[in-house]
Structure 1
Amino acid sequence: MNITDNNNESIIVSIKCTAYNHEKYIRETLEGFIMQKTNFRFEAIVHDDASTDNTADIIREYAEKYPDIIKPIYETENQYSKKDGSLLRIMNEASRGKYFALCEGDDYWTDPYKLQKQVDFLESHPDYVLCSHRYRKFYQNTLSFDNSILPRDFNKDFTFDLNYYILREDWVTQPLTCMYRASAFDSDYYMKFKNKKDLIFFYVLLKRGKGVLLNDCMGVYRIHEKGVWSGLSLKNQFISELQTTKSIYDVEHNFTAASMLKVFLQRNCNMFNSQIMKSELKLILSVWCIVVKYFKIEGIILIMHQLHLKIKIQKLWNKIVSIGKR
């Protein structure tokens, strides 16, 4: 896509927004872009990935009304489903900014100074590659917000690196919160990974430098049944994360990858181990089979550790039940 305009002032931030069948949500997303108050130029590259609803029409409406900000791309063939990096290439070729900000078409921003705050930080801290912030979850089925501001356990700006990102049991950053230096992202390295999920994206980025989490809450992550991640079942989320971890392991074959595997299993398998009901045993066994399939010896060793924990939990549970029957 060729983007031309008559303003010679440089674009500082390119917002990269991908949308697919987001007609219910895309207006709120686009409003979050146009409300931004900055002392620099920015653009929003809004990519409709061959939606079958009215998403493209809504994007077109905003592009006509705000041509200096909204730069649309309309596909006739879905690019995300190709899994070959086409979507990343298209978005990168269209984006002209020094910094890239991310927001998918079903999430939205709530602070009109979000871009300004993030640019100010990155301009004054050249050794950082990524600037993130806190956010809230919104549950579409109940039309309610989560009570917590995420990620939890922070009350001030916080610096993190790749090791912290890997070892923390919940993610420090989400796409809707992220701004990063365009020059810091190694697309060729990224393309080596078979699985190109968000975790891989941040893994590649943080290999180049550190990130900061601003304590400000400036966006909303929407949970709904058609979400790429939130729409998956618990088991399929587990499988997706396992495939992502396997992708890193295949490329790296080092301590970092092994650490990721261990943390992944502890984070996810403990969730299954906490379910002691017999009805869950079949699911747990199927998950262990997946781990062995992907990770061979390493997976077996970690599974034995997890099973040891499960046996302890099972014994404790049986003891509690027996006491209750007296």
Structure 2
Amino acid sequence: MNHVNANSEIKISIIVLVYNHEKYLERALNSIICQQHDFPIEILIGDDCSSDRSPEIIKKFEQSNCNSNQHVRTFIRNKNFGAAFNVSHLANLSNGKYITFLEGDDYWCSDTKLIKQFEFLQSNPDYIAVTHPLRVEDLSGNFVFNTPSSYSHIFTLENFLRGKRFPLTAAMIRKNNEEIQHVSSLISKGPRNAADVTWCFYLLSKSDVYILSEPMAAYNMRVMGGESNYNSISTDLRKCEDRLLMLDINNNEYQLGGRMLYLYSQLFKRVVFSFRLSLADQLSFFRIFAKVFKGLTFSFFGWAYNFFYDGKK
């Protein structure tokens, strides 16, 4: 089996996260193979102890797709560690100058995604990351909407602190080994299946993130029984608790103080007005929130303003 030449610098590491994705995985992996590039890449596939045919599909892919310009590395675990560990572990093992991500139930819908993001980062060294809109699809593969639907090309930390989001799963980031190790240590303190907030704070603490115009990846939107994605297996209470924990970890890390007020207030508001959370769930969240709130230095008026502010200005 041929591998990337040891003397060739790997330009991009593609991190593929897999957990019970047999229905979607071949489509995801084929969308990588279709990419146009003339430089060495590596594909790191982490299977988090799937109980379906995902490991079999991964092994077959590895056997068929290693060549002089493309190295496939597989990590099939016999214990489930959670998605947060899966992504940080593979990021630390990667050798590329840049890292990009693909979940096993999504796929890339443009064969120029890699080259366009690569060329942008090569030409714009002040940016740590570049992303693009996502094409959101239903289970039948029908187009639903693009996200974000409207945006400025330059996404800042202040945008994030006012509740806006950029497509993290579509991002390509500039790798710094020491910084990735530190981000991994923060992730290890957080939820086992969510790390998006921590990754976003890390990237935006370093620079703005640039958003290209073209949607070049498809996101499989589903919340239903029998599926293994985060939105399907996590209750509303769990999602709120996970987000609160990630906000607290990053507030302590970056010492943002009052600049975090909007995010805390809107999370609290989400729980207060949720029709899907029972009173017992709400009280459980409020007890956790009260412990976090003791360490925050927010004025009552600032809290009230951000509770009712909708973030659309």
TM value normalised by structure 1? 0.78
Indicate the residue corresponding to 2:73 in structure 1: 72
Kindly tell me: are residues 279 and 291 of structure 1, through their superposed partners in 2, closer, same or farther at Cα, counting changes over 3 Å? closer
Aligned to 1:243: 245
Aligned ranges 1:261-280 → 2 under 5 Å? 262-274=261-273
Is 1:171 aligned with 2:196? no
Report the counterpart of residue 131 of structure 1 in structure 2. 130
1:306/1:145 CA distance change after superposition, 3 Å: farther
2:16 matches 1:17: yes
Change in 2 beyond 3 A, CA 1:76/1:124? closer
User: What letter is aligned with 1:237?
Assistant: K
Q: Secondary structure of the equivalent of 2:146?
A: coil
Structure 1 residue 18, shift from structure 2 partner = 1.8
Q: 1:221 to 1:267 in 2, by over 3 A?
A: farther
- State the AA in 1 paired with 2:42: E
Query: Which 10-residue stretch deviates more, 44-53 or 119-128?
Result: 44-53
Cα distance, 1:200–1:60 mapped onto 2, change above 3 Å = same
Relative to structure 1, the CA distance from residue 290 to residue 303 in structure 2 (aligned partners, 3 Å threshold; closer, same or farther) is farther
RMSD over equivalenced CA pairs, Å: 3.2
Larger radius of gyration: 1
Q: 1:221 to 1:266 in 2, by over 3 A?
A: farther
Distance 1:288 1:301, change over 3 A: farther
CA, structure 1 residues 278+222, in 2 after alignment: closer, same or farther (shift >3 Å)?
closer
Q: CA deviation at 1:259?
A: 2.5
Name the counterpart of 2:311: none
Q: Report the number of matched residues.
A: 296
Aligned equivalents of 1:278, 1:174: Cα separation in 2: 27
Contact 2:15-2:87 at 8 Å conserved across structures: no
Q: Is the 8 A contact 1:249 1:258 kept in 2?
A: no
Shift of 1:162: 2.4
Deviation at 1:164, TM superposition (A): 2.2
Pair 1:152–1:270, CA change in 2 (3 A): farther
Contact 2:131–2:212 (8 Å) recurs in 1 = yes
Q: Counterpart of 1:15 in 2: which secondary structure? A: strand
Identity of aligned residues (%): 23
SS of residue paired to 2:182? helix
Quick one: distance in 2 between partners of 1:90 and 1:226?
20
SS at match of 2:36: coil
Query: Is the 1:184–1:205 Cα contact (8 Å) retained in structure 2?
Result: no
For the Cα contact (< 8 Å) 2:91–2:99, is it kept in 1? no
Any stretches of 5+ residues in structure 2 without a counterpart? 309-313
SS at match of 2:212: strand
CA contact (8 A) 1:269 1:306 kept: no
CA drift at 1:198 = 1.5
- CA spacing shift, 1:257–1:113, aligned 2, 3 Å: farther
